[in-house]
Structures are given as structure tokens and as C-alpha cells.
Chains A and B, each alone.
Chain A
Amino acid sequence: MSEERPKQKTTAIKSTQTANEAYKVVKAMYARAQEAVEQGSPVAWVMVSTCCEEILKAMGVVPVYTENFGAVCAAKKVAEPFLHSAEAHGFSRHLCSYARNGIGYVIQLKETGMIPPDAPAGGMAHPSVLIGGSHVCDPRYKWYQALGRYLDVPYYAVEILEPPIDADFEAVKQYYIDYMVAELRGLVSFLESHLGKKLNPDILMECVHIAEQTRTKWWECYELRKAIPCPMPTQDAFSCLVPNDLDPADRASLAFYERLYDELKYRVDNKIGVIPDEKYRLLWGGGLPPWHSMGIFNYFESLGGVTVMDITYYPGSPCLEVADCADPLERIVRWMLHRFTEWHSRAARGCGNVIVQRLLEWIDDYHIDGIIMHGSESCRAGTFGQLFFKNVLKEHSTVPVLFIESDIVDTRSYSEASTKQSIDDFMEVVASNKENRIGQSGFN
């Protein structure tokens, strides 16, 4: 009998204590949903960034974030059977692997009548409603439509559109707000009619206030990462985003970021970095993370590189203009629009592109030596533009850019060895680039 090989660790070693608590938060979310089903309480399957977190909290609906489930399945290396199930039902292998994972999960659920035994965190509890959205990418509303083949569950999709950079934002702002507030009102009506519950506007306002504080505190944590050495690397940020992105209106989420902030502040004050010698500061400049292989962040660290900033889940600065807004739904929308348009006028005055403008500003603010972008095979919305961003960056900056190619969930065409080889090559360029810069400027 052959000896069982030790399991290869693919998750990243985290630097902060608080980040190590994040998976407990994730598991608790799935457990709450399972309890809700047992107690006959409503559960919603939800896409992130659909502006419904506060509404669900106020109405006592427990959310399950199906994209997050894809990430968890990838990290736990249990996604492949779900991907196969979806593909066997005719869903193209090119489609978003979060979606294929989620569809495959539902297929198995339907075929066996039970939660698949390998599902991590106890699996996704059966939903009472589905809430999709059009923000970020098309699969986020098409995926739940496709679930109609297997689940007879009411579905509402929230339209969320970003104002274009070529528009005068002040001129279009009001009709964007009106439209998206109407979309959220539609969501409230949908939930009220399907769940037989009424939304209490006072409770919603309280939830909105908590969520605003949570988002502000999370953003303040990001600000602390400007310190040298950096107190929190990207792999920690990608874990710590969970309470903010999935449950910001919960007081426990706010408390989570208060703890994190205190921990980071202590590290900044005491110059405690991620690694003993932070030689190179890196920026995660695009793409969703390779959830199956988060250990690559530690590989950068083994070569002296710390990812000190990331664009993918950047929470955005607080929206100050909501202070006088008495309508909780409008507050949600204004906050979101602020996040979308924060860089518009600066980009129009600067390099002309919103993403590159951010990267350029962060290169200065966070003292960046190299940029990493992750081209994810099945996540086109998160990948499209990376070459363009690199080309435009080159016109304004000498900071080198690395492209890593894999996927968010699907590892079938991923090679860790070749990824590490390209990281080795990249870090040599980063080192020589930094030496040249120091040589030219005379100081570090």
C-alpha cells in the first residue's frame, strides 16, 4: 500500500493575526445560512457588488455569496468535480469558472438531493431567492438565469451601471442615481412580495450607517499600507475583504476592521513588516486572485517582494457627500457611484484612463517597484485591458509589469513551475530596475 502523500499547501501564509480569523468568518456565514434553512428563515444567493448587503441585513435575509463559494472551493481544491458537472450539461469550458463551479454544485445538489459531501464550509444552503446583478460582468446575471434549469427559485437582477468617463459626471449623476435607486426599490418590493416581510426603513438606515463605518474603517486599513515596511500584504487583504464585501452592515464586521486597524497601526508604529527585509514593494495591478494557488504571494516574499497594494477589491475612499442624505437607498447608491467615479476627473486631467491613473498614483503613494497582473482564463471582465494598461503605464512609468496566467478556480491548465519561473525572471528585472532608479536619483 502506497503511503499517502502529504497535502500540498496552496493557501498563503498570512502575516496578520486578524487575517487568520477571516476564514472563521466565512465558515460562520455558510453556517448561518444552513441554520436559517433549518429554521425556515429566508436565504438569498447573491452576487457581490449588487448593493443589496444592507437591504438583506435589514430584512433578516441570510446571504450566501456564490462567487465566494467558487473561491473557497478553489482554495480547498474541491472545484474540479463541480466544473465537470457543469461542462457535462453543456456549459462551455470557457465560461466563468465561478459560474461553472456554482452551476455544477447545483447540478449535483439536484441529482443527489443532498449537499455534495465534498462541499467546503458545509456547502451553500438552499436559497429562497436569487439576487444577481449586471455590475462587473455579464456572467453575474446570466449565471443565475442558467440556474433556472435546476432551481425553481425567484430571481431578481439589479442593474448597476458605471457612468462613462466621457460623460460630464455632474450632468449625468442624477439620472444614474434615480435609476439605481429605482433598481433597489424594485429589489425591496421583490423581497417583500416573495418573503412576506416588510422592510423597516429605520432598521435599513441603521444598517447603512454601520456599513458606511465598516467601509471607512477598511479603507483606513488600506491607507496604513503606505507605510514602509508595509504592515499587511495582499494575501491578507484578499482574506480580510470578506466582512466588508459580504456583510458590511453587521456590527461584527465593523469590529473586525477595528481590530485589524489596531493591529496594523501597532505594526506601523513599531515598523513590523510582512517579512524581515522588505526589499521590493509590489502592486497587484489587475485581475482576480488565483484562489487555488495563493501561496504564490509567499513565493514573492521569499524573493524579497511584498505586495503592498491591490486594485481588485480596493474599497474606495469614504463618500462624504452622503452625510445629509436621508434616504437609505440613495445613500447606498451615492456611495457606490462615488467609488466608481473617484478617479474620473483625475484620469481626464492625467493619463486618460481610470485604471492606469490609479496605478500611477499608487506607484507614488505606495512606493511601488513592480506590478503584478493576473490574467484569468475564464474571467474575461477581470482580464480584458491588462495589456492595454501595461502599454499606457509604459508611457508614464518605468515600473515593470508581470503577467501571471491561470484562472480564478480552474487549475487544469495552470503550471505552478512556469509561474514561479516567470516570477523569478520578473523579480530580477524589479531588482535591476530599482538599482538603476536608486543609482540615478542618488537615494532610496
Chain B
Amino acid sequence: MAGNNLAHAVEIYRARDKRARELKAQGKKIIGYFCCYPPVELMTALDLVPYRIIGDIREPMSRADGYIESNICSFVRNCFELSLKGRYEFLDGVIIPHSCDAIEKLCDIWRYYNKSTPTYFLNVPHIIHEGTYLFYRAELLRLRQSLEELAGKKLQTEDLVSAIRVHNENRALLRSLYRLRLPDPPLMSGSEAIKVAIAATALPVLECNEMLRGIISEVNAREEPLPSGIRVLLYGGQIDDAAFVDIIENCGANVVMDDLCTTARCFWHEVELDVDPINNLCRHYLDNIMCPRTLRQGTNHVSELENRFGYLKSYAAEFKATCAIAYTMRLCDTFEFDAPDLEDYLTKQGLPFFNLEVEYKLSSMEQLRTRIEAFLESVAEKAVRS
């Protein structure tokens, strides 16, 4: 695949299930999962291929309306629409974590209408106290047992340790890829980076690592720099289509860092590799996934804001972002509750901030172009004045 790795990633991004279906035809078992919380290491260690379930903002909604109410998160409704249309029929099992109300409640419906495929529910605590890790450990052991039945084999500790290593390597490669946007102008666009990150969730990890190494080398060898623009830190929930990023970048800006459910939130930290691998998975998935569905408290409001959003300040500093845009999925309660605090916090850091409440559909995003343009113009004017 010399010289074509990025093109290959874009191809996977455009037809995410292609490789998974090929692997299925070769006898591999493919396990679908929602959100950042199901430990992919457990799946890989049991020789199951992890496959992140996402929606399709280009897919017209026609059938899910008869099953899921219109005031429910449009991403969840969209995923179920795809399921009804058979887009996920190749999966051998599905893991649905209790990441938020909508995903949790989807579980019963998904299970009921996909009876031939096992659906596993994983309870993920929202609040971190002393006893939380023990509980989550027990939940992961329960999940392990279910996955062992699906895989038809027992999990060996050395296989799990090895899976943690290769997934850590995967995370490190994705971080390296993301840091190709550190220079000004960046070596790759935000749109490209997001496409790669999304493609990465549809490939076996070893295969993905090879592809990522190739992409990094290809991008490093680029001779033509991208045009320089306002450097945007993108924050938000489920973006699994580059269309929104394209809108921002087509306005002349560079999305230099994105903290999303599908991107950096999943790979910015690694799983520790000390004595007990299951405990390490517990720590990683509870502590390191910075989703607002997890309550992070502090001794007072100021320290709590640091606990919740301090990492965004670090991203902005490292990637030299000059403004932040939040993609807040409409009807996503945990993100919507955070919006006023996030705005306060980032504004106090001197980072111009724009919160967009967005529906999970392409037509809704197109309508945002003018507002994004206006925001970026105001950022540019402010930069000139200062």
C-alpha cells in the first residue's frame, strides 16, 4: 500500500463496513459497539474484530420514526434506522454501554429487533467514588464472560496484555497523526485527520496501525503546505462525517485539534501496563474518557471547571488554537448542560468560543455555514485589532 495509505483510509471512511465484511467472509467474528466505553482490548484479545457503530448523516430517516420518539437524540435514531435497514446485519454481537440515557435506552430496542445477534449491555458508572472501580471491574468481568462465549474461547491474560499494547500503539499513532497539525500551516487538514480517525474504528487494530504508520510517513513527505487560516479547536459529541469540519475549513480556517466522541477522546490517553490488566482497563475507561456524561467534581466551582475542561486549555495551548467551536448535538443532555460552563471557562481563557446546537443530519449542518463564517470573521477582526 506504499503511498496510498491516506487514500485507503478515506476509502474505508467512505465504506466503513467493506473491510469488516471481508473479514467476516474469512471467518472472523465482528463485534459492534457504541461510544468510547466498551474496552476494545477485550475484543481484540479474544480475536473478535471491534467495529464502532456510527450513524450516517446522509441517510434519510424513514423507518426509525415508528420506533423511537422524535425528541430523542438524532444520532441514536439514525443508528437504529441503519440497523432496521440492515446496515449492521454483518455484526456477530453488539455491546451497548450505559454511556447516556439515549444509548442506554436504545439497548432494549436494539436487542428486541436484532434477536439473532447477541446484544450485551455494559453498565458504566457516571460518578467516580472509591467503590466505582470495583463495580466496573465486576461489570467488565461479566462482559468478558459474554465475549468468551461469543468467541468460543477463554481469555488469556497474556493475550489481553498484548491487546492493550497494540491498542496503546494505535492510540500513540493516532496522536502522532493528530500532531501533524501542530505546525502553521498544518501538514494535514482537520477533515483528513477526522476521516482517518473514523476509518480507524472499522479496522482490526494491527491492520490499522500499519495504515497509520504509512499515512504519517506520507503526510510528513508532503511538499505543498495547506493554506494557513484561523486555528480552530473543535469540541463536541458524535461527529462521524467530515462534512461539519469541511464547512469550517471551507471558510478558510484550519481545524487543528478535535476533541470528539469519535476522535481524540478515545485515543489521547493510554491504558497502563502494570499488574492487573482488567484494573487498568477500569481506570482508563472511567478516568481518561473526558465525556460530560461522567461527573467530575472539584473542591469548588473553579477547581471543578478545571477538572472538566482544563484539558481543553492544554489542547488549545499545544495546538495554538485561536478559537474554539463546540458542536453540541441537539437533545444530548449532558453536552447541553455543560454548554454555559464551557463557554464561561474558555472565554475566561481568552479563547473566542462559539457553541452550535446541531441536529445529526447533513441538511442541518449546511444551514450553519453563515453562522460559522460570521464567527470566524469576528475572530479574524479581533486578531487584527490586537
Give residues in A with beta carbon < 8 Å to B.
89-92, 94-96, 99, 134, 137-139, 141-143, 145-146, 148-149, 152, 155, 157-159, 161, 163-167, 171-172, 175-176, 178-179, 182-183, 186, 352-354, 375, 377-378, 380-381, 383-388, 391-392
Q: Are A95 and B71 closer than 8 Å at their CB atoms?
A: no
Q: In the bound complex, how far is the Cα of B111 from the Cα of A378, in angstroms?
A: 26
Q: Is the CB of A161 within 8 A of B125?
A: yes
Task: Judge whether A353 and B341 touch: CB under 8 Å.
Answer: no
**CB pair A149 B340 closer than 8 Å:** yes
Residues on B with C-beta less than 8 A from A96 are 333
Contact flag A89-B340 (CB < 8 Å), given A182-B130, A380-B333: yes
In the bound complex, residues from chain A placing their C-beta under 8 Å from that of B67 are 387-388, 391
A386 with B69: CB separation less than 8 A: yes
> Which of B129, B339, B357 contacts A186 (CB under 8 A)?
B129
Question: Once the chains bind, are B301 and A149 in contact (CB under 8 Å)?
Answer: yes
Between-chain CB contacts (< 8 Å), 12 pairs: A91-B339, A141-B127, A142-B337, A146-B340, A146-B341, A164-B121, A166-B121, A175-B135, A378-B71, A388-B108, A388-B109, A392-B112
Q: Which residue of chain B has the shortest Cβ distance to A144 in the bound complex?
A: B295
Contact with A along B276-308 (1 / 0, CB 8 A): 000000000000000011010100110010000
Question: B344 contacts the other chain (Cβ, under 8 Å)?
Answer: yes
CB closest chain-B residue, reference A391: B67
Q: How far is the CB of B149 from chain A (nearest CB, A)?
A: 12
**Segment 99-134 of B: residues with Cβ below 8 Å from A:** 100-102, 105, 107-109, 111-112, 119-121, 123, 125-127, 129-132, 134
Assess the A384–B123 pair: CB atoms within 8 A.
no
Question: Is A149 touching B142 in the complex (CB atoms < 8 A)?
Answer: no
Q: Which residues of A contact B98 (CB under 8 A)?
A: 161
User: Once the chains bind, are A182 and B131 in contact (CB under 8 Å)?
Assistant: yes
Q: Is B138 interfacial (CB 8 A cutoff)?
A: yes
B86 at the interface (CB under 8 A from A): no
The answer to whether B101 and A138 touch across the interface, beta carbons within 8 angstroms, is yes
- In the complex, how many angstroms separate the beta carbon of A199 from the nearest chain B beta carbon? 18
Provide the bound-state CA to CA distance between A164 and B105, in Å: 11
A391 to B64, CA, bound (A): 12
Structural contact, B108 and A138, CB atoms closer than 8 A: no
Q: Taking the nearest CB of chain A, how far is it from the CB of B55, in angstroms?
A: 17
Q: Which among B101, B108, B111 is the interface contact of A380 at CB below 8 angstroms?
A: B101
Inter-chain contact B337/A152, CB cutoff 8 Å? no
Asked if B142 and A167 make an inter-chain contact with CB atoms under 8 angstroms apart, the answer reads yes
Cβ–Cβ contact A384 & B337, under 8 A: no
Does residue B343 face the partner (Cβ distance < 8 Å to A)? yes
Q: Does B150 contact A (CB under 8 A)?
A: no
Q: Does B68 make an interface contact (CB < 8 A)?
A: yes
- The reply to whether B112 and A91 contact each other, CB–CB distance below 8 Å, is no
On chain A, the residues within 8 Å of B130 by CB distance are 182, 186
Identify the 6 closest CB pairs spanning chains A and B, nearest first: A182-B131, A90-B340, A179-B135, A142-B337, A164-B121, A175-B138
A138 in contact with B126 given A95-B333, A384-B68 (CB within 8 Å): yes
**B337 and A91 within 8 A (CB):** yes
A106 to chain B, nearest CB (A): 13
**Max count, chain B CB within 10 A of own CB: residue among A134, A163, A166:** A166
Q: Does A178 lie within 8 Å of B134, measured CB to CB?
A: yes
Question: Would you call B337 and A143 a contact (CB within 8 A)?
Answer: yes
Interface assignment of B242: CB less than 8 Å from any CB of chain A: no
B334 CB within 8 Å of chain A: yes
Q: For the complex, give the distance between the alpha carbons of A21 and B121 in Å.
A: 43
Task: Say how far B363's CB is from chain A's closest CB, in angstroms.
Answer: 19
Q: How many residues of B contact A (CB 8 A)?
A: 54
Contact B71 A155 (CB under 8 A): no
* Chain B CB within 10 Å, residue with most, of A99, A145, A152, A352: A145
Instruction: Please judge, given known A-B contacts A161-B123, A388-B112, whether A138 and B333 are in contact too, CB under 8 Å.
Output: yes
Bound Cα distance from A378 to B292, whole angstroms: 19
Instruction: Among B131, B134, B292, B357, point to the contact of A142 (Cβ < 8 A).
Output: B292
**CA of A179 to CA of B130, assembled, Å:** 9
| Interchain CB contact (< 8 A) of A159 among B112, B119, B127 | B127
Q: Is the CB of B301 within 8 A of A152?
A: yes
Do B68 and A388 have beta carbons less than 8 Å apart? yes
B169 part of interface (Cβ distance < 8 Å): no
Complex interface: chain A residues within 8 A of B355 (CB): 90
| Docked pose: A359 CA to B107 CA in angstroms | 19
B123 contacts A164, C-beta separation under 8 Å: yes
**Beyond known contacts A380-B72, A385-B105: 13 more, CB 8 A cutoff:** A90-B339, A94-B336, A145-B337, A148-B301, A149-B301, A149-B344, A157-B126, A161-B123, A175-B134, A179-B135, A354-B108, A380-B331, A383-B69
Interface string of B339-360 (1 = CB under 8 A from A): 1110110000000000101000
Best-surrounded residue of B120, B135, B338, B355 (most CB of chain A within 10 A): B135
CB atoms of A182 and B105 under 8 A apart: no
- Are B341 and A149 touching (Cβ within 8 A)? yes
How does the 8 Å CB contact mask read for B64-78 relative to A, with 1 for contact and 0 for none? 001111011100000
Shortest CB distance A325–B (Å): 19
CB contacts (< 8 Å) of B338 on chain A: these are 142
Minimal Cβ-Cβ distance residue in A for B298: A148
Instruction: State whether A377 touches B340 (Cβ < 8 A).
Output: no
